[in-house]
Amino acid sequence: MGAAPAAKPAKASLSFYWIIDESSAQYRGRADAVLRDVRGRVIAHTTRKFRRALVLEGTGWLRDGRAVMYECKAGGEHRFRVAKEKCGFAVTGCALIPFRTAAVDPHFIKLGSKIYIPQLKGARLPDGTIHDGVFLATDRGHFRGRHVDLFVGAGARGARPFVQRGYGSRSHVTVVPLGSDGSRCGQ
C-alpha cells in the first residue's frame, strides 16, 4: 500500500514529456518498422527509431497528421492506437493539454487534482501568455513518489519557458495540491 496523497505543499522532482513528430529529421530513414493496433492490424510503417521513441514518450504524430499512442505490449510486440485528440490523451481519458497536463504518481497526488507550482508562475509561454503555475494532474507517470512530469506539447523545446526560469529536468519544485473541482479532467 502506498502513501496517502499529499495534502500540503511538498518538494518534488520535475521533468517534462512531449509528443514526437515522425516528420522530424531525426526520424528519417527506411520505414522498416510496423505500428500495429491491439488487434494486430497495421496502423503505419515507420522507422525503428520513431517506434522506439514512441514507446518511450507515449504519443507521436505520423507524417500523415494522425496522432498515435502507445497502448500495450501484446504477443511480445508493442501495440499502438490512433488518438482522436490532437496531442493524444492521458491515462484518465482526458486530452493532453500542452503546459497544463501533469503526470504524477497517484500515491503522491490524486489523479484529477489541480496542483500549483509557484516556481513556474510567470513563465512566458510560446503564445505570449503568462503561466499561472496551475497544472492538471490527469496523467500517470512511469515513476514512483514525489515527481511531477509536465506535458509541454511538441518536442523537447516546449520545456523552454520553464527552463528559462531556471527549472529544467531534475530540478526540485514545490507542489501545492489544490484539490479537485469534481470534474474528471479538472477543467
- Quick one: pLDDT at residue 184? 66
Q: What is the pLDDT along the chain (187 residues), one digit of tens a residue?
A: 444 444 689 999 999 999 999 999 999 999 999 999 999 999 999 999 999 999 988 899 999 999 999 999 998 999 999 999 999 989 899 999 999 999 999 999 999 999 999 999 999 999 999 999 999 999 998 889 999 999 999 988 999 999 999 998 888 999 999 977 666 676 5
**Do the bridges between strand 59-61 and strand 10-21 make them parallel or antiparallel, or are there none, so unpaired?**
parallel
**Grid coordinates in use for 117?**
507550482
C-alpha separations of 25 from 16, 20, 28, 34, 156 in Å: 21, 11, 5, 19, 14
Structural domains in the chain, sorted by start: 10-18+90-179 (2.40.40.10), 19-83 (no CATH)
